[in-house]
Structure 1
Amino acid sequence: MPALLDDAQIAARLAELPGWTRAGDEIRRTLQAPSFLAGIGLVARVAEAAEEADHHPDIDIRWRTLTFALSTHSEGGLTAKDFALAAAIDRLAGEAGCEGAR
Structure 2
Amino acid sequence: MKIETMSKLSEETIAEKLKSLEGWEYTDNCLATTFEFKNFKEAFTLMTRIAFECEEMQHHPDWTNVYNQLEIRLNTHDAGGVTEKDFQLAEIIENLVSEQP
Q: Tell me if TM exceeds 0.5.
A: yes
Instruction: Determine whether 1:62 maps to 2:66.
Output: yes
Q: Hey, what's the Cα distance between the residues in 1 that align with 2:6 and 2:24?
A: 21
- Which amino acid counterpart does residue 35 of structure 1 have in structure 2? N
User: Residue in 1 aligned with 2:30?
Assistant: 26
Q: Identify the match of residue 84 of structure 1 among 83, 88, 96.
A: 88
The one-letter code sitting in structure 1 at the alignment partner of 2:22 is P
Aligned: 1:50 with 2:51: no
Deviations 1:30-81 (A, max 9, x none): 0111221011010000000111111100111010010010000111001000
Q: Is the 8 A contact 1:4 1:75 kept in 2?
A: yes
- Aligned-pair identity (%): 34
Q: Please, what is the CA RMSD of the aligned residues? A: 0.9
Summarize deviations over 1:3-30 as a string: whole Å, max 9, x none.
1111111001111101001112101000
Q: Which consecutive residues of structure 1, in runs of 5 or more, have no partner in the other structure?
A: 98-102
Which SS does the other structure have where 2:31 is aligned? strand
The partner residue of 1:9 within 10, 13, 21 is: 13
Whole-angstrom CA distance in 2 between matches of 1:24 and 1:40: 25
Is the contact between residue 33 and residue 96 of structure 1 (CA under 8 Å) also seen in structure 2?
A: no
Aligned to 1:93: 97
Q: CA deviation at 1:95?
A: 1.4
Deviation beyond 3 Å, 4+ runs, structure 1: none
In the alignment of these two chains, the number of paired residues is: 97
Distance 1:35 1:93 in 2: 14
- For residue 79 of structure 2, what is the aligned residue in structure 1? 75
Q: How many angstroms apart in 2 are the aligned matches of 1:49 and 1:90?
A: 12
